[in-house]
Structure 1
Amino acid sequence: MTQEQSGDTFISHLVELRSRLMRAVLSVLVVFFVLFMYPGPSVIYDVLAQPMLASLPQGTRMIATGVITPFMVPVKVTLLASFMVALPIVLYQGWAFVAPGLYKHEKRLALPLIFSSTVLFIAGMAFCYFVVFKTVFHFIATFAPDSITPAPDIEAYLNFVMTMFLAFGITFEVPIAVILLVKTGMTSVAKLREIRGYVIVGAFIIAAVVTPPDVVSQFLLAAPLCLLYELGIIFASFMKKREAESDSDSRELES
């Protein structure tokens, strides 16, 4: 390949990348417009705030200390919801960009991994919303003195929620990371089982850094991380067993 041909190929890749990015962004904006019109940013934020509101004293509301915060925070929440709804389209655009450069067996592995990683990330967020928030906010509320009326700021609440969503979403991706490490040959199932103790300690250290300084939220992050690590080992072991059986059958057919 000449230098001129190489340059044309590079430019064509950049054009393709720009096209895929524009389609991904457009899909998010379309969903954002639909959600903005119905049910609206205020309703979406109220749903997100429900776990906190349920733990506050009867009649207590959250507050907004900024001038434009009552407008910007619901809009940010709507944008986050739009991204999650449009995530399959966004991931498909990424897949369509890299697919031509993959081998056939890599394509067979990539699609299930993309689908499962999306499902696991959303599952992590759902676990955080329905289980962690309810438990943690109730636990914190029990320690509030009677002389204090909690009134959380909506912007601080949004930052907290996004951090927790990201932490639990990434945590639920652990099985995918374990499978990829074994599949690419970077480590083995036996080695992963050997370092199980270090993983457990690391899980609680990560939970202590990411989550609020209370035992409940730290345990609710560390425990799923350890369980999902074990689940990843089980799936990786199953896949390696299937590969060994497939290779054995191929040798028997050749002989």
Structure 2
Amino acid sequence: MALLKRSSQDRDPEGRMPLMEHLRELRNRLLIATIAVVVGIIIGWIFFDPVWSFIKEPFCATPQAHQLRSGECTLTYGGIFQSFFLTLKVSALVGVVVSSPVWLYQIWAFVTPALYRNEKRYSVAFLAIAIPLFLIGALLAYYIMDTSLAILLGFAPSDTVAVIQIDEYVSYVLIMLVIFGVSFELPLLLVFLNVVGVLSHATVKKHRRTVVFLMFVFGAVITPGGDPITMMALAMPMIILYFAAELFMFLRERRAPAGEDFSHLSDDEASPLQEDSGPER
């Protein structure tokens, strides 16, 4: 911890950190984040049984889950070490989620000194919105997963029995949770690009129809099963968030001072210079 305090003080007059101090701070923050994840994995290992009951619930809601043993939800495994690696995989997932406040803070604390004050304000807001958006997307994936599984498994002939292995099912669950969670972050990325001046509302509005069409294509391609329920469950919230992001861009640009809008200038046209006493850190 002493290294972390010293690294934030040993800067040159312009606020830059020497390279060795920068690397030392990175090493310490990675160490703290790693310890936090390991502690989270241990917690996940201890509470594996309730977590596993939560994970397998969507499969247990399907008729195919009770084909091997009537009245009991049954998954299979086909290797000596598969059960061990399953426990490790689920514990690692719990560890990353439980320790997320720690490693997210370490990332934030490492990046913050290089940002201007207004950039820090925006990045805090984005971080505060990004985490709930990811969780909402993951929860949506969880609650439609039983319907998605029922559709996918329902294509099998009636005289067959579904023998779903644990590892295959857990991989499917993790893929669904990550895909939905990350997809819900894409509209926020558009807002971020607009705030930093890379993407204008006029550009987003111009390509609106194409983007909406591509979201449906993305929902059909990226979901593991490709069933229409999962595709619509992913595409429709993304479209709603896309329109919300576009509305934010419109309102932000409308309220922005005229001197800050250079979207009408060509790439070869110089923008007016403004005297400044120096970047505000």
TM value normalised by structure 1:
0.86
Distance 2:29 2:73 in 1: 46
Distance 2:168 2:23 in 1: 39
Residue among 212, 227, 243 paired with 1:200: 212
Query: Where does residue 101 of structure 1 map in the other structure?
Result: 114
Runs of 5+ in structure 2 lacking a partner? 1-16, 261-281
Query: Where does residue 79 of structure 2 map in the other structure?
Result: 66
Deviations 1:162-208 (A, max 9, x none): 22112111111023111112112212112212211111221122222
Residue among 184, 188, 195 paired with 1:172: 184
Residue among 78, 83, 90 paired with 2:103: 90
Find out whether 1:49 has 2:56 as its counterpart: yes
* Structure 1 residue 209: Cα displacement: 2.0
Distance 2:98 2:162 in 1: 32
Summarize the alignment of residues 71-82 of structure 1 with structure 2, pairs less than 5 Å apart: 71-82=84-95
Query: Where does residue 3 of structure 1 map in the other structure?
Result: none
**Contact 2:183 / 2:238 at 8 angstroms: preserved in 1?**
yes
**Contact 1:203 / 1:225 at 8 angstroms: preserved in 2?**
yes
Runs of 5+ in structure 1 lacking a partner? 1-7, 248-255
Distance 1:26 1:242 in 2: 45
Q: 1:242 to 1:88 in 2, by over 3 A?
A: farther
Query: Where does residue 244 of structure 2 map in the other structure?
Result: 231
Summarize the alignment of residues 135-150 of structure 1 with structure 2, pairs less than 5 Å apart: 135-150=147-162
Aligned-partner SS, 2:199 = coil
**Contact 1:60 / 1:151 at 8 angstroms: preserved in 2?**
no
Query: Where does residue 253 of structure 1 map in the other structure?
Result: none
**Contact 1:174 / 1:232 at 8 angstroms: preserved in 2?**
no
* Structure 1 residue 35: Cα displacement: 3.0
Aligned-partner SS, 2:18 = helix
Deviations 1:27-66 (A, max 9, x none): 11112222322x2x23312211110121123424011112
**Contact 2:44 / 2:90 at 8 angstroms: preserved in 1?**
no
Query: Where does residue 23 of structure 1 map in the other structure?
Result: 32
Q: 1:228 to 1:50 in 2, by over 3 A?
A: same
Q: Counterpart amino acid of 2:185?
A: E
* Structure 1 residue 15: Cα displacement: 0.7
Deviations 1:61-110 (A, max 9, x none): 01111211112112211211221121121111001001111111111111
* Structure 1 residue 120: Cα displacement: 0.9
- How many residue pairs match? The answer is 237
Distance 1:91 1:165 in 2: 19
* Structure 1 residue 16: Cα displacement: 0.5
* Structure 1 residue 148: Cα displacement: 1.7
Distance 1:201 1:166 in 2: 22
Aligned-partner SS, 1:62 = coil
**Contact 1:44 / 1:74 at 8 angstroms: preserved in 2?**
no
**Contact 1:32 / 1:82 at 8 angstroms: preserved in 2?**
yes
Residue among 169, 172, 181 paired with 2:193: 181
* Structure 1 residue 229: Cα displacement: 1.0
Aligned-partner SS, 1:222 = helix
Distance 2:257 2:165 in 1: 56
The structure that has the greater radius of gyration is: 2
Aligned-partner SS, 1:152 = coil
Bigger fraction of residues in helix: 1
Query: Where does residue 116 of structure 1 map in the other structure?
Result: 129
**Contact 1:189 / 1:236 at 8 angstroms: preserved in 2?**
yes
**Contact 1:124 / 1:172 at 8 angstroms: preserved in 2?**
yes
Query: Where does residue 252 of structure 1 map in the other structure?
Result: none
Distance 2:30 2:249 in 1: 33
Find out whether 1:10 has 2:19 as its counterpart: yes
* Structure 1 residue 141: Cα displacement: 4.0
